[in-house]
Amino acid sequence: GAVVSQHPSRVICKSGTSVKIECRSLDFQATTMFWYRQFPKQSLMLMATSNEGSKATYEQGVEKDKFLINHASLTLSTLTVTSAHPEDSSFYICSARRTGSQIWEETQYFGPGTRLLVL
């Protein structure tokens, strides 16, 4: 199998605080992980690509100083939402791609998501 976990599943915080979300690949190594955000009834929006041992690549319009990504090992990437505001409230989903995949095997496996509510 290819299981990806996320923690926490749900978080409520006050405006101005920082929130860290962890994404782990449980039974495989992932050189590359991806962070998405999804607002209700809207499509997935890619925020950044997280590469183990190097800096993340952010999509246009995503503030790298606000959404800090650290991919410290082949099984863990973290997203920290700094100085969160109510407009950051969303569903954050990570996905991971297996390291060493055959060129034709590029499946991204998704974590269960983290629902963030900023008051």
Partner 1 sequence: GQNIDQPTEMTATEGAIVQINCTYQTSGFNGLFWYQQHAGEAPTFLSYNVLDGLEEKGRFSSFLSRSKGYSYLLLKELQMKDSASYLCAVSKGNTPLVFGKGTRLSVIA
Q: Would you say 2 and 105 are in contact if contact means Cβ atoms under 8 Å apart?
A: no
- Of 43 and 54, which has the nearer Cβ to partner 1? 43
Rounded to whole angstroms, the Cα distance separating 75 from 104 reads: 22
Q: How far is the CB of 108 from partner 1 (least distance, A)?
A: 5
- Of 12 and 17, which has the nearer Cβ to partner 1? 12
88 binds partner 1 (CB under 8 A): no
- Of 66 and 91, which has the nearer Cβ to partner 1? 91
Q: How far is the CB of 83 from partner 1 (least distance, A)?
A: 26
Neighbour tally for 72: CB within 10 Å: 10
Question: CA triplet 64, 83, 115: central angle to 5 degrees?
Answer: 85
60 binds partner 1 (CB under 8 A): no
93 binds partner 1 (CB under 8 A): yes
> Of 14, 61, 65, 103, which one interacts with partner 1 (CB under 8 A)?
103
Please enumerate in sequence order all residues whose Cβ is within 8 A of that of 53, keeping only pairs 6 or more positions apart, or say none.
71
In sequence order, what are the beta bridge partners of 20? 80
- Enter the tokens of residue 58: 């952010």
Contact residues for partner 1, defined by CB under 8 A: 32, 34, 43-44, 46, 49, 91, 93, 103-113, 115
